[in-house]
Amino acid sequence: MFLIRKYAVDKQSNAVLLEWFKPYENFAYRREGDLASLKDKNKLSKAIIAKNESPYGADLIDKMVLLIKEELHHFYQVLEIMTSRGINYENITAGRYAKGMLKHVKTYEPDALVDKLIIGAYIEARSCERFAALAPLVDTELSDFYISLLRSESRHYQDYLTLAEEIATEFNTKANNKKTKKSIDVNARIKFFGEIEAELIQSTDEEFKFHSGVPVCL
């Protein structure tokens, strides 16, 4: 949601996206509504239009809108399972994982966008791996659900990487035509964030989260 609002869509589409997300935001952050209030809310009321000056085109919008739809659907599915098992929804603080990578994002564009897309790919790929590891250890309902999630995460991380590569390639082509020395080495950035991510998941972590490192108690 942040990526397409910041980089790709016009003002009117920005408002449409916010309105689409509002019921979920109200539930998650303001505790307004319930499972029933979110039913059938995962539909866009209008088309999402790229802003004229956006260099990233419809591909970023198409991939991110599909990803948002799937993630909101997963959120609803999780709530259904929690409700059926008598588990209350509670807000918890974010872990150090994503923040630990985001603090290394470059401060200028389009490098910053490429970095954020690469980080998104790592988050999704690590989710895929951990759902696969957990699926055999839980009951059948959760196992089937986790397998369905890991398939989505696998698609998502590939979408993030594809977008990062497309944006970097387009920028490098323009830089080459202008005969400037500026370019984006996607493989180097993937390697860089891979090292950061490895440190985050292999070091001890005081909080036990889905993307946390080794529990400090172990």
Phi, psi of 214 (to 5 degrees): -65, 125
Radius of gyration for the chain, computed over Cα atoms and rounded to the nearest angstrom:
19
Same domain, 77 and 10: yes
The residue out of 72, 91, 110 marking a domain boundary is 91
- On whether the pTM is more than 0.85, the answer is yes
| Local confidence band at 47 (pLDDT 50, 70, 90 cut-offs) | confident
Task: Examine the pLDDT at 54 and tell me if it is beyond 80.
Answer: no
Same domain, 87 and 102: no
Instruction: Note the pLDDT of residue 129.
Output: 94
Number of domains making up the chain: 2
Same domain, 201 and 143: yes
Instruction: Note the pLDDT of residue 10.
Output: 87
DSSP code at position 135 = G
Same domain, 211 and 179: yes
The residue out of 37, 67, 91 marking a domain boundary is 91
Same domain, 121 and 82: no
The residue out of 37, 66, 91 marking a domain boundary is 91
Beta bridge partners of 205: 215
- For residue 152, give the CATH number of its domain: 1.20.1260.10
Task: Examine the pLDDT at 100 and tell me if it is beyond 90.
Answer: yes
Over residues 129-161, the pLDDT tens digits come to 999 999 999 999 999 999 999 988 889 999 999
Task: Examine the pLDDT at 53 and tell me if it is beyond 80.
Answer: no
Same domain, 85 and 125: no
Beta bridge partners of 115: none
Same domain, 77 and 130: no
Same domain, 208 and 102: yes
Instruction: Note the pLDDT of residue 218.
Output: 55
Same domain, 72 and 99: no
> Is the model more confident about 92 or about 199?
199
Same domain, 29 and 44: yes
Over residues 117-127, the pLDDT tens digits come to 999 999 999 99
Same domain, 106 and 212: yes
HEC string for 76-105:
HHHHHHHHHCCCCCCCCCCCHHHHHHHCCC
Same domain, 19 and 42: yes
**Pairwise CA distance, residues 107 & 135, whole Å:** 39
The domain of 194 spans 95-218
Residue range 171-192: mean pLDDT, rounded: 88
